[in-house]
Structure 1
């Protein structure tokens, strides 16, 4: 855990909240330690940021984190949480212009780095200084287990932060405009479960991605383990190989990667002998405390509410209002259908549907149907404007190498006529 070295006894202690109360239990019950010196961090930040209890004032600026390693990320984040601060995870690669935007938008002027990100940090600092923006680096030290005698965590019963206090700002991908700063409060990270040393989370995304920033801390508080793959390792073959080892109990994947993993299963794993095939099978469980519903009953946009859900977008009241319904449910933009207790993803509300007269056509469904044809190797469905119908689905397909096509696409799709006649092509070009 953390071992502060400040000479003031009260300052040495940790906040009284579900995060550090749980860490206090773990410091006595779980082997393995993470050490970081909060006192040193205080010395390198502006004095006016701290109050008489030596923790951040509410108006203090956030601290950016540039971490390639999950270890450094967790150490940095927990250190800031202990001080009542908020962090801004930054990407370790990509355009400097994007990273600069995250800094400008959040107002972060200090950045916690590790040895492997020092060059990237220098590049960022050199880039923003051209705009007159000053950025200071603070390197996080790695203290090995067993190198010192670790003290147990002590809780300051009087040091209580509001659960609504901001703890993290994560920037969205910006698929519908400029990235928005999603603000998560301390409540998002409160732990109310039981110890589960058997839990083992697989994290493969860089830590500035939502799942990689939020989930690992919960696994630490459960007393479990985390395997961090090399950042950006989103290869379905590698992920399947890790899953077949049987130690992973949780994994967060987006729909796009889920499709790739499903395709690899259909083309490769499904055809393996039973004794090998069964090694790949795994089960998941819904997130505890999450309430979900669909906007139109058994179908429609997925609406979600959780106790620790993000509270607002940074400095964007209009986007915040648009993101929630009247009952406080977050509008995900994902379209699902429910069959019994199971939910099936059908696409994105804004990009994966074509409004053809009165019909809503799923581009994903149409692509799946085209890919099921024996002579099609690739398919891409797009929406094109039409004066009469509003929109028309247009498909571009690639014929498999070595296949001579003597049948038209329209003829191949005649079996769709009775089920969904509006999907049958009416015009074909080669």
Structure 2
């Protein structure tokens, strides 16, 4: 059997041989594939001189940047493992990730240097690189001696090597989960996982070799990195990269760069829709718009369809690199609310979460299990968590609840852990949230269970609303009661200025519960 080299560093070198459009547009600066590849060669040589070897972990802490991507490619060049770190984490959380991963090398932007220095004595890293090559994050003062400026690792005075050949089972990245239920776990994504996701996406989405992809979601998140960005960069297209998501800038980029593909979470698409001029903007080039990463309000799909943009709802997790299902664009209005059917090279089944028994009935709810070459190898240094989530037959038990219609399309109900049990009845918050989001004057909705002496738990709704709108409980219950059973109706309503979300745009229910508790005791 022929073993194919699927290293992204090799793919970047291959693309650099051909004169094509700019590979990367980063905050007003353009980079050809040849420029990127040359810098990656230099970076890899500098890292090798500092002792980084195949299998070692190299962590990156900073916002979206060209250096983020160069670090990923330099890691692949050497066969090292890339560890992107959420730039919004606190010091203790960063300490955990750097020590758990056993990172050999840290690459850090100036804005995060002091945080890393505060935990450095507890972290095993032997090489500390400070980014000084990006004008968007300049150094403010001379760093302490432990730091090596990135510019010192670049240059043509070191011998270059060809990228290490990499294959399906070679570890590519440790991507740490958001940690909403405890310490973040390092998801072991192989190069095969990343590569097969690209094959799946290209099979279900209208992607092309000359795509212009706008990358505004955080690259440390698997959706921002591997939904469209990597495959566009390596296949021959142009990635327009922004350090962070700004709705007004995003709209300008979509128009000015004639963007053809975009990945975003629902909150990003909602914010984009509220930018003045959205209704008139020329978005005719945008033919591959994927929405995922959080529950998607059906109203959002409808609003964009009326605007001429067919959002393709997809579903997956970090462990599925990221997609396991996708709804074809042509079915956006026919199957509104569905996360689609299984990706071509991915298997999906529903099981009873208590017994593990397979569920085949139409509309019957069960836990989603996923199997395929895009599914992670397990959790880094965590055999207990791996054994709990990955069974002996290779199925990953996701903790998400869904049902399937008669045509084989899946509808995500909620996270199993977020389920509310009221009077013996199961209530899935996402189901209630979807209805609440359509309530007049409501912008966003979140639902949690709160203790109740009679029913055990009841539904509490937290809403963000249009200026001057404060829905009463009676109004909310009347509206929701038109669509849902009485036991699912909120018994309390609270209004917030905004909902707590992490850097990936996901609602953080633990933070929401703390906010509710603080308000109750205020």
The answer on whether the counterparts of 1:240 and 1:280 sit within 8 Å (CA) in structure 2 is no
For residues 328-355 of structure 1, the C-alpha deviation after alignment (integer angstroms, 9 at most, x for no partner) is 232333333334354333332212x322
Deviations 1:162-195 (A, max 9, x none): 5322221111110010111111122223478589
Partner of 1:53: none
Match of 1:44 in 2: 50
Q: Distance in 2 between matches of 1:309 and 1:100?
A: 27
Matching residue of 2:346 = 290
- Whether 1:168 aligns to 2:196 is no
Aligned equivalents of 1:318, 1:142: Cα separation in 2: 42
* Partner in structure 2 of residue 108 of structure 1: 103
Please name the residue that 2:323 is paired with.
Answer: none
- Counterpart CA distance in 2 for 1:211 and 1:311 is 18
1:345 is matched with which residue? Answer: 412
- Give the counterpart of 2:231 among 202, 206, 218: 218
Instruction: List per-residue Cα deviations over 1:271-321 (Å, max 9, x = no partner).
Output: 879999866513548355333333344443333333132211111111112
What residue number does 1:322 align with?
Answer: 388
Q: Work out the number of aligned pairs and report it.
A: 384
Partner of 1:5: none
Tell me, yes or no, if the aligned pair for 1:416 and 1:424 is still in contact at 8 Å: no
Indicate the RMSD between aligned Cα atoms, in angstroms.
4.4
Conserved in 1, the CA contact under 8 Å of 2:459 and 2:492?
no
CA contact (8 A) 1:246 1:279 kept: no
Which residue is 1:8 aligned to?
Answer: none
- Larger Rg, first or second structure (1 or 2): 1
Cα contact 1:128–1:134 (8 A) shared by 2: no
Q: Structure 1, residues 379-418: CA drift from partner, whole Å, max 9, x if none?
A: 653312345544222346789877899994598359649x
Q: Deviations over 1:110-144 (max 9, x none)?
A: 2234xxx13523x244212444756532357869x
Aligned partner of residue 313 in structure 1, secondary structure? coil
1:150-169: CA deviations, max 9, x gaps? xxx9968xx64453222211
Which residue in the other structure is 2:377 paired with?
A: 311
Offset at 1:364?
3.2
* Conserved? CA contact 1:200–1:227, under 8 Å: yes
Aligned residue for 1:11?
none
- Counterpart residue number, 2:262: 251
Q: TM-score by structure 2 length? A: 0.60
**TM-score, structure 1 normalization:** 0.71
* Local SS of the residue matching 2:310: coil
- Kindly tell me: are residues 402 and 206 of structure 1, through their superposed partners in 2, closer, same or farther at Cα, counting changes over 3 Å? closer
Aligned to 2:219: 207
Out of 58, 69, 92, the position equivalent to 1:63 is 58
Does the CA contact (< 8 Å) of 1:181 and 1:313 recur in 2? yes
The whole-number CA distance in structure 1 between the counterparts of 2:402 and 2:222 is 21
Deviation for aligned residue 1:369: 3.7
Gapped runs of 5+ residues in structure 1?
1-14, 50-55
Q: Secondary structure at the match of 1:206?
A: coil
Distance 2:132 2:489 in 1: 62
Where 1:64 maps in the other structure, the secondary structure is: strand
User: What secondary structure sits across from 2:421 in the alignment?
Assistant: strand
2:216 matches 1:228: no
> 1:78 offset after TM fit, Å?
1.4
Residue 17 of structure 2 corresponds to which residue in structure 1? 28
**Contact residue 64 and residue 111 of structure 1 kept, 8 A:** yes
**Deviation sequence 1:199-257 (CA, Å, 0-9, x none):** 233322333222234343222221122122222x264x665665567844443334xxx
Which residue of 66, 70, 78 maps to 1:75?
A: 70
Distance 1:316 1:186, change over 3 A: same
Give secondary structure in 2 for the equivalent of 1:327: coil
How far 1:361 moved relative to its partner?
Answer: 1.8
What are structure 2's unaligned runs of at least 5 residues? 21-31, 135-154, 285-303, 315-325, 327-342, 352-358, 495-522
- Residue from 116, 120, 127 that aligns with 2:112: 120
Q: Secondary structure at the match of 1:173?
A: coil
1:160-199 equivalent positions in 2, closer than 5 A: 160-161=165-166, 163-190=168-195, 196-199=208-211
Whole-angstrom distance in 2 between the partners of 1:67 and 1:406 = 43
Contact 1:244 1:280 in 2 (8 A): no
Distance 1:107 1:282, change over 3 A: same
Q: Does 1:422 align with 2:435?
A: no
Alignment of 1:382 onto 2:448 = yes
| Change beyond 3 A, Cα 1:162–1:302 | same
